[in-house]
Amino acid sequence: MPGATGPRDSITDVAGVLVGHHQRLDERVTLGSGAATGTTVVRVPGGATASVDVRGGGPGTRETDLLDPANTVRQLHAVLLTGGSAYGLAAADGVMRWAEEHGEGIPMDPADPSRVVPIVPGAVIFDLPVGAWDIRPDADFGYRAAAAAATEFARGTVGAGVGARAGALKGGIGSASVVLGDGPGAGVTVGALIVANPVGSVVDPRTGLPWGAGTDGPEFFGLRPGTAAELAALAEIPVKGTALNTTIGVVATDADLDPAGCRRLAATAHDGLARAIRPVHSPLDGDTVFALATGAVRVPATALPAAFPPDLLLLDQLCTAAAVVVERAIVDAVRSATSIAGIPAYHDLFPR
C-alpha cells in the first residue's frame, strides 16, 4: 500500500469532502415489488477542480462533457451517484436546488451573490429490477442527500447502493482512503467512494475471497478463505440475470491538481475496478469514475525537465494511490452490504 490508511478509511478523510445519502427501502421488498433505491451525493463546499473517465459500454451520465479538460468550467460543487437508471438523473435537480439555496455555485452576478449556477455532474446505476420498476430517485432524493452530507456516513446497502448487485451477490457503497507517507506527496490524502453494481464477479470462486483483497492481502480485511461448504453454496447462486449494470464512483485528493491531472487520476482509478471486478468495463456496464481535487494541501513543485509538468511525480503517486483506494472501496462495499429481496450478501455466505 502506498501509505497509511486515513483516520476514517473514507473519502471524507480528504479535507473539504462530504457525503450524504437518501434512500427508500421497504422492509419486505422483493424483486419487482416495493421500494429499493437511493441516491448518494459527494459535496465539496466551495467547489473543487474535477474531471471524469467513462469506460463502460452503457453509461448513464450528466454533465460529463463539461469536465473535459479542454472545456471552460474548471470546478464542480457536488457529484450525484444514484440508482434509478436514466430516470435517476432527475435527482441532480434537487442537489442543484439545495446548492443554490446555500449559495454554492459559479457566481453569475457580482451585485447579487444569490445568483449562482451549481455544477452537479452525475452517474447512475441500473437497479430498477430490485423492488418496483416505477419507484426511483427524483429531485427530492437529491435534495435530501445533499442536505445530509457530512464527514461520517453509512456504507453498504444505503444511498445509491441500496439496489446494487455485485455479480451474483448484493452490492453496495464502499469507501477507503490512504495518506501518502513519503515522496513529493507526503501528507497528501487520496480517497474513494464506490457504488459496486457490476455484471462481473467480485469474489474468487476458488477461495471465496474478494478479488480486491489481493493487493493488501486478506489479513488486511480480516478475511479467511471459505470452507468447502461455503464455496459450494457460492457456486449454487445463479448468475446475475439483468443485462444492465454499472460501477460508479468518485476519487478525491486534497492535492492541488488541474483538470488534466484530475482526468489522469480518474483514468488510473479504473485500474482499481479491474483488480476487484472480473470482467470489468463490459458492454453491459456503464463504469464511470469522477476525480476531484480540493487543493487544500499545497505540494512544492519538483524540478523536472521543461518538457514535463512540474507536478508529474506527485501525480504518479496519486494515481498509484487512486487505484488502491478504489480496489479497497469495492471490497468495503461487498463486505458492508446486507441482503435484500433475496439477494445474498457476502457475509451471509462467508460469516467468518
Give the chain's mean pLDDT: 92
Whether this prediction's pTM lies above 0.85 is answered by yes
- Grouping H, G, I as helix, E, B as strand and the rest as coil, residue 103 is coil
Mean pLDDT of 186-205: 95
Domain that holds residue 318: 3-340
So what's the pLDDT on residue 36?
95
So what's the pLDDT on residue 309?
63
Q: Is residue 97 part of a domain?
A: yes
Q: What phi and psi, each to the nearest 5 degrees, are found at residue 350?
A: -125, 70
Closest CA to 48 of 22, 72, 79: 79
For 28-38, how does the pLDDT look when each residue is reduced to its tens digit (9 = 90+)? 999 889 999 99
- Grouping H, G, I as helix, E, B as strand and the rest as coil, residue 249 is strand
So what's the pLDDT on residue 301?
63
Helices (H), 181-258: 218-221, 228-236
So what's the pLDDT on residue 184?
86
So what's the pLDDT on residue 3?
81
C-beta of residue 190 within 8 angstroms of C-beta of residue 299: no
In the block, which residue shows the cell 459450494? 232
User: What's 328's domain CATH number?
Assistant: 3.60.70.12
Q: Which DSSP state fits 203? A: B
Mean pLDDT of 285-313: 77
So what's the pLDDT on residue 302?
63
User: Please, how many CA atoms are within 13 Å of residue 84, restricted to the half-sphere of its CB?
Assistant: 31
- CB-CB neighbours of 37 under 10 Å: 29
Q: Which DSSP state fits 210? A: B
So what's the pLDDT on residue 78?
98
> How far is Cα 82 from Cα 334, in angstroms, rounded to an integer?
17
> How far is Cα 7 from Cα 25, in angstroms, rounded to an integer?
30
Q: Is residue 11 part of a domain?
A: yes
Q: Is residue 346 part of a domain?
A: no
C-beta of residue 329 within 8 angstroms of C-beta of residue 192: yes
Q: How many domains does the chain have?
A: 1
At residue 91, does pLDDT exceed 70? yes
Confidence of residue 285 (pLDDT cuts 50, 70, 90): confident
CA separation, residue 180 to residues 60, 122, 312 (Å): 33, 28, 16
So what's the pLDDT on residue 86?
95
So what's the pLDDT on residue 240?
73
At residue 244, does pLDDT exceed 70? no
| CA angle centred on 252, ends 108 and 222, rounded to 5° | 150
Better-predicted residue by pLDDT, 297 or 247? 247
Q: Is residue 229 part of a domain?
A: yes
So what's the pLDDT on residue 185?
85
At residue 291, does pLDDT exceed 60? yes
Confidence of residue 241 (pLDDT cuts 50, 70, 90): low
Q: Is residue 223 part of a domain?
A: yes
Mean pLDDT of 173-197: 95
Mean pLDDT of 270-275: 96
| CA angle centred on 36, ends 165 and 93, rounded to 5° | 105
Helices (H), the chain: 91-101, 139-147, 218-221, 228-236, 259-276, 312-336, 346-349
Beta strands, E only, 119-253: 122-124, 165-166, 169-170, 172-180, 189-196, 248-253
- CB-CB neighbours of 219 under 10 Å: 9
Length of the chain: 352
Q: Which three cell numbers stand for residue 19?
A: 457525503
Q: Is residue 121 part of a domain?
A: yes
% of the chain surpassing 90 pLDDT: 77
- Grouping H, G, I as helix, E, B as strand and the rest as coil, residue 88 is helix
At residue 1, does pLDDT exceed 80? no
For 311-352, how does the pLDDT look when each residue is reduced to its tens digit (9 = 90+)? 778 899 999 999 999 999 999 999 999 999 999 999 999 987
Give the chain's end-to-end CA distance (angstroms, integer).
25
Q: Is residue 351 part of a domain?
A: no
> How far is Cα 91 from Cα 40, in angstroms, rounded to an integer?
10
At residue 16, does pLDDT exceed 60? yes
Q: Which three cell numbers stand for residue 63?
A: 454533465
> How far is Cα 175 from Cα 190, in angstroms, rounded to an integer?
11
Q: Is residue 348 part of a domain?
A: no
Q: Which three cell numbers stand for residue 299?
A: 505540494
At residue 83, does pLDDT exceed 60? yes
So what's the pLDDT on residue 220?
85
At residue 310, does pLDDT exceed 80? no
